Every structure is written in C-alpha cells, then in structure tokens.
Amino acid sequence: MTETQPKVLVVDDAATVRAYHSTLLTEAGFRVVQAANGLEAVETALTTPFDLFVVDVNMPKMNGYTFVETLRSDTVGTPAPVVMISTEDRPGDADRAYAAGANLYLVKPVPPERLVRIARLLTADRVAAR
Amino acid sequence: MPEPPAVSADDLIRQLDDADPEARRVAALGLEGVAGAVEPLLDRVGAEEQPAVRDAMLTTLAGHDTDRVAAGLAVHLASEDAGLRTAAAEALAAMPVSVPALVPRLLEDPDHDVRMLCARVLADLPHPEALTWLAVMIKDDPHPNVVASAIDALLPSLGPEHAELLQRAVRRFPDDPFLRFTVEAALR
C-alpha cells in the first residue's frame, strides 16, 4: 500500500454491499475506507482526503443525497468525484443525484469490471497530479 | 414560580402548521399517545421538509403502532424522497404489533424497491416471524436485489441451517456476481 494509490470512501449501510465494493476496489489497487451511513461518512471525510466516493442512496441517519450535498458544501468542500450506486431506478433518481453533486449515478448490480474501470477513470487525474 | 399553562392537544395539532420548524418538532413530540393526533400527523408527515420534524412525527406515529398508522406509513416506502422512504422504513421497524399484518402485502408489492425496503423493516422488526419472512424473500423473490437485501438483513442471524437456502439463491441468479459474493461471504 502506497500513498500514490487512490483512496476511496465506500458508503453503504448494507454490510454485504460495503464488503463487495471494498473487495473489488482493494483487489484493483485502491485504498478503501468504509462508512455505514452518511453521518459517519461526513465525519471521515472531514479528517481524511479521498480521491473518490462510492455512495449508496438509501441509508439511515443521513441518506446518500444529503451526504453528497454536504460533501459539496462548505462543510467538507471536496471536489473529489462521487459515484452514487443505488438499487433503485425510479424516474428522477439520477437527476436528484446529479443535482446533489454526484458525477455518476449507477444502478445495482454494477458489473465488477465496470466499477473498477469507472473508478480508475475518475481518479486518474488526481493520481497524475500527485 | 407558577407553572406555565399546559398546552392542549388541539393547540399542539395547530402548532404542527407553525412556520418555525422547532415549534413543529416540539408539537409532534408533545402529541405522543394522543389518538386524535394520528390523522393530522399522517396528513403532514409526507410533506414535511425538515428531517428533524419529520423524524419527530414518525417517532410519535410509531408509538401508536396501529393498523391505521402502519398503512399510512407504508405508502411512503414508495416515496420519491429517499429520506422519507428510509425514515418510514425505520418507523415501521419499530411497530411490531401492526406491521406483521402488512408484511404479506409488502412481500407481493410489484415495486421491487418497496420489497427491498420491506427487507430493511424485517431486519429490525422485533417479531418471531421476521426471519421466516426474510427466508421467504430469499427463496421466492424474483428480483436479485431484493434477495441480496434479504440476505443482508438475515446476516446477523445466519446459521448452518440457511446454507441450502443461500446456495439455492445463487443458483436462481447465476449471472449476478454480487449475490454470489454475498453468499460466499455469508457462508464463510
């Protein structure tokens, strides 16, 4: 593990989803930190810089949209890319995600190779700038 | 020092429409146990935009744990508002008296997102049949995301007796890598 490896915060209240996304990204060479809800994720993001956020929508305490809005607000103020991944594909969900400040909205299940490819694409500039 | 005059239930119900969110929150909490407040609270909870006020309304409503409240909250499982549907699921999970009668209908809901939220409700519902219903979802639900949510909900209670159930779920959805990962992790 080196400091040049991109660092990802995986935010999901489902332990199995957190483990799945974390395993995929870790095996692909990312450093991964996990949070079980938006509130926990905000606390983590306030103290640790991340290169990418992978965020669920439906979570207790603070849902994904509110978390992303908080990331983009002065409270955290990070420009790091955000991928929202939801089990839901209701009309308007993606619009809501983009309005909150997400860079990409995906519906589960996301094929493993696609998630890794997207994570690499979204973090490439930040890694190159180091 | 004289005690401040007690606020009547009617006053608190009127206060639910106050422009000040803190006044609405205090009113919602003050209506705990007031049967006549159920309909006014159900009328307002879906439109309330302040999460703290909405949570106070849901806390008071969940305390009633009646069929009327359960039915009134279950409709919000299909809400477009992620905060509302998640909060409604949390409130329903705290209603072990009235929610069980709703579960068969939720398990058959045509919206798979509602069935996924039903798995979340069952994860926290203190009821002896909750694990059985989750097993039914894993065994029969046609949507892999619902099955995965049910497995996640069952995780803290998983035992060797569930191995065949989980393996059968993987066989039903052989092309779903997440489901396979979830089951393999669970069986480890």
pLDDT in tens, B45-82: 999 999 899 999 999 999 999 999 999 999 999 998 88
> For the purposes of burial, counting CB atoms within 10 Å of the CB of A130, is it exposed (0-12), middle (13-18) or buried (19 or more)?
exposed
B90 near A CB under 8 A? yes
Max Cα-Cα span within chain B: 73
**pLDDT for position B46:** 95
A66 near B CB under 8 A? yes
Mean pLDDT of A40-54: 95
The C-alpha torsion from B95 through B42 and B117 to A98, rounded to 10°, is: -150
Mean pLDDT of A60-74: 91
Contacts of A69 in chain B (CB under 8 A): none
Q: What residues 91-110 of chain A have any CB closer than 8 A to a CB of chain B?
A: 92, 96, 108-109
Distances (CA, A) of B123 to A40, A89, B43, B116, B117: 21, 23, 27, 11, 10
Question: Of A83-92, B84-93, B140-149, which range is least confident?
Answer: A83-92
Res A106 pLDDT > 60 = yes
In which band, very low, low, confident or very high, does the pLDDT at B159 lie, cut at 50, 70 and 90? confident
Res A35 pLDDT > 90 = yes
**pLDDT for position A1:** 56
**pLDDT for position B1:** 61
**pLDDT tens for each residue of B86-117:** 899 999 999 999 999 999 999 999 999 999 99
Hey, what domains does chain A have and what are their CATH numbers? 7-128 (3.40.50.2300)
Q: Where do we find the tokens 């909750």?
A: B130
**pLDDT for position A2:** 66
Nearest to A28 by CA among A50, A48, A8: A8
Q: Answer yes or no: do B155 and A15 touch at CB < 8 A.
A: yes
In this complex, the residue of B80, B83, B178 whose CB is nearest that of residue A108 is B178
Please give the share of chain B, as a percent, with pLDDT higher than 90: 82
Three-state secondary-structure class, residue A33: strand
In this complex, the residue of B83, B113, B152 whose CB is nearest that of residue A15 is B152
Res A87 pLDDT > 90 = no
Please give the share of chain B, as a percent, with pLDDT higher than 70: 97
CB pairs under 8 A between A and B: 62
In this complex, the residue of B82, B149, B151 whose CB is nearest that of residue A64 is B82
Residue A44 φ/ψ, nearest 5 degrees:
-70, -45
Cα separation, B128 vs B125, in Å, equals 9
